Amino acid sequence: MGRRVLAIDDSLTIRKLLEMALGRAGYALELASTGQEGIQRAIRNPPDLVLLDYVLPDMKGLDVAAALLRDERTASVPVVVMSAKSDDLRALFRDVPSVVEFVGKPFTPSGIVFLVADLLARAQATPAVATGAPSDLPSFTFAQKESAAKAMFAHLRERFARIPEWMRAIGDSSPAPYFARKMLTPELLDGILNALVPTLREALGPSATPGRGPALAPGTPFLAGHTSILPLSHLLRELASTGRTGTLRLEHESRVTWLFLRRGRVMLVTHDQPDESLRQSSEDLSAVTPSELENAVATQRASGKPVFVSLAESGRLAKGDLAQVLYLHGKRALLAAIEAGPGGFDWSEPQGLPDFVEAFGQPLAQEQVQLEQLRAVDDWAQVELHVTGLDVVFRRGEDFAARLAGFELIPSERRVLTLVDDRNSVRMIIDRSGLTPFEVFHCLFRLGQVGLVSARDMPLASDEPARGVRPVAILDPDQQGVKEPLARLLAQRQKPVPLLEVPTPDDIIALCLKERPRLLILNVSAGFDAAAAARQVRGTLEISDMALVAVAEGEAPRRTEELAHAGFDAVLTKPFLFTDIERLLAA
């Protein structure tokens, strides 16, 4: 009889699909439709592998996995969690080491067969899952504990103060998960861990402190530790700030990940899970023989060299799209490493990066991976901590234009960003974007987490005077009636504002991208399509936050709605009061 697999899922369709796929592959499949039935069947006759649905009619998959782990008869049985939201579940199962993999629904029959075969082969070759290990943590002095407590309180103070407000809104929610979602958000934990680093380094001794001294002999690991002490995000920033070239190896319970960096930039990420790479790929591998695939899989497990590179080298895969394939593979690998939680690491600087990195590596921004991870968050409690109401006004983050190029934004994010201008409230962004309130709130939440926007009452790292006074740009032939009085008004301000003249309508975008004016004034009667120019400005993210003012020769009332729809913030009819311009500058 083949290896035994127990599938616990309340969906008849999923059970039938597994029955057909795994039965055809020669596995002995046992089925259960509830969590309690699955636990009883597993304990009565322990299987070689459990496929477990996360949401069952009588209990959560987390409770089923925990029950199997507690019983000595099933504690060493590997568990695969199946869910339509598999990417969100890794953190929930972090304390259940018997859970070895997560599978998203729907899955393909060939994919589930490949996964089961690979996991059973690995389980046969490795020791049983350990349910505990002696602690090797250092002992802390009273002073160190007091210092750690103060650091944690500094980060939690604001959330502690909001507990009375949250108590009024708790309703029928279970208190423990409700307050965990409110308080233990990823960015808060990141701040706490960062604040605890000095205490941990002091307790662990000098060996825990990464130095900035000269590198050892090429290829020799000279920096090693654990990301519970030095988080991955901080480690990558350290390597980037010093422009290092080498290989960062991360090791978790069931996964090894390699990050290849050139001059501080992550160029390629891979791991020792080739089955995962193949399941996620859309490449045509019909011409690959079983032995070729087996050799490519073994190579990736041993060294991280992606299966796609080995297959391309043997002529079984076209090299033309390989860079993009590895880029997408790398993003998923980095995201998986972030979600896997703390683990060991070592950094080495060999003579050169592997040939496949030099040939096909492309810069991979950690912030982009973080943004994609945030897109999967569906917890309103996290969102409302950062976007607190409809009347909040957001502004662009520091070095916005320079950092924008490092992101791949989806349409809703681009639309929201064009409306973030230090003037529009969240309510106005909802009205003007055509997006739902939740979409706007969620976009602002994740764009804020990666630093592209911030609420106006939150200080930026450097304030406006440090960046210089942004000028006002104007396209209007009226020298005496408009340009000269406006120039005098701007020169008399407490902080004088330069006035720049746009030579022709064709120069608008180029000049604004170069000079980044805070206000652009266009004479809409000057013989060019001002509405089209406004739409082009609003569609160019780097300058879409500018205030736009239309100056008309008398037909303003008729065209106000059209011009406002095109993106103008104000429409002024000559003759107008220059105090109207002053009010726009003050806003």
Mind listing the pLDDT tens digit for each residue in 341-351? Answer: 778 888 888 77
Domain check: are 324 and 258 in the same one?
yes
- Residue 131 located in a structural domain: no
Upper half-sphere CA count for residue 470 (Cβ side, 13 Å): 20
Contact partners, residue 547, CB within 8 Å, separation at least 6: 421, 423, 518, 519, 520, 569, 570, 584, 587
Domain check: are 8 and 90 in the same one?
yes
Q: Last residue of a domain, which of 206, 221, 245?
A: 206
Domain check: are 360 and 380 in the same one?
no
Domain check: are 289 and 378 in the same one?
no
Put residue 408 in one of left, alpha, beta given phi > 0 → left and psi -120 to 50 → alpha.
Answer: beta
- Residue 328 located in a structural domain: yes
391 or 341: whose pLDDT is higher?
391
d(Cα 102, Cα 362) in Å, to the nearest integer? 28
d(Cα 372, Cα 417) in Å, to the nearest integer? 16
- Mean pLDDT of all residues in 437-446: 90
Banded pLDDT at 466 (limits 50, 70, 90) = very low
- Residue 489 located in a structural domain: yes
- Can you give the pLDDT at residue 37? 94
Measure Cα distances from 417 to 79, 179, 445, 467, 578 in Å: 42, 31, 12, 21, 30
Residue whose structure tokens are 């973080």: 370
Banded pLDDT at 46 (limits 50, 70, 90) = very high
- Can you give the pLDDT at residue 361? 86
Banded pLDDT at 375 (limits 50, 70, 90) = confident
Nearest CA to 159 out of 177, 184, 186, 176 is that of 184
- Can you give the pLDDT at residue 557? 57
Mind listing the pLDDT tens digit for each residue in 537-558? Answer: 887 877 887 888 888 876 555 6
In the sheet with 472-475, reading across from the earlier edge strand, the strands are 499-501, 472-475, 519-523, 547-552, 570-573
Domain check: are 273 and 399 in the same one?
no
Domain check: are 216 and 322 in the same one?
yes
Q: Last residue of a domain, which of 455, 487, 522?
A: 455
342 or 472: whose pLDDT is higher?
472
Domain check: are 310 and 257 in the same one?
yes
318 or 419: whose pLDDT is higher?
419
- Can you give the pLDDT at residue 312? 85
Taken as a whole, the chain contains a residue count of 587
- Mean residue pLDDT of the chain comes to 79
- Residue 266 located in a structural domain: yes
- Can you give the pLDDT at residue 47? 93
- Residue 134 located in a structural domain: no
The lowest-confidence range among 295-299, 440-444, 579-583 is 579-583
Domain check: are 235 and 347 in the same one?
yes
Domain check: are 424 and 495 in the same one?
no
Banded pLDDT at 39 (limits 50, 70, 90) = very high
Look up the domain containing 298 and give its range: 212-364
pLDDT of residue 461 exceeding 50, the answer is no
Q: Which two tokens stand for residue 73?
A: 């008869």
- Can you give the pLDDT at residue 157? 81
- Residue 39 located in a structural domain: yes
Under 8 Å between Cβ of 524 and 550: yes
d(Cα 419, Cα 532) in Å, to the nearest integer? 17
Q: Last residue of a domain, which of 157, 185, 206?
A: 206
Banded pLDDT at 232 (limits 50, 70, 90) = confident
- Which CATH number fits the domain that encloses residue 113? 3.40.50.2300
Question: Alpha helix (H) ranges present in 422-461?
Answer: 426-433, 437-449
Banded pLDDT at 207 (limits 50, 70, 90) = very low
Domain check: are 224 and 328 in the same one?
yes
Query: For the whole model, what pTM was predicted?
Result: 0.43
pLDDT of residue 212 exceeding 50, the answer is no
- Our count of domains for the chain comes to 5
Share of the chain above pLDDT 70, in %: 85
Mind listing the pLDDT tens digit for each residue in 91-133? Answer: 788 788 888 888 887 777 777 887 888 788 777 765 444 444 3
- Can you give the pLDDT at residue 139? 56
- Mean pLDDT of all residues in 198-219: 47
- Residue 494 located in a structural domain: yes
Top mean-pLDDT range of 111-120, 527-536, 565-574: 527-536
- Residue 513 located in a structural domain: yes
Domain check: are 411 and 546 in the same one?
no
Banded pLDDT at 407 (limits 50, 70, 90) = confident
Domain check: are 397 and 503 in the same one?
no
- Mean pLDDT of all residues in 146-172: 80
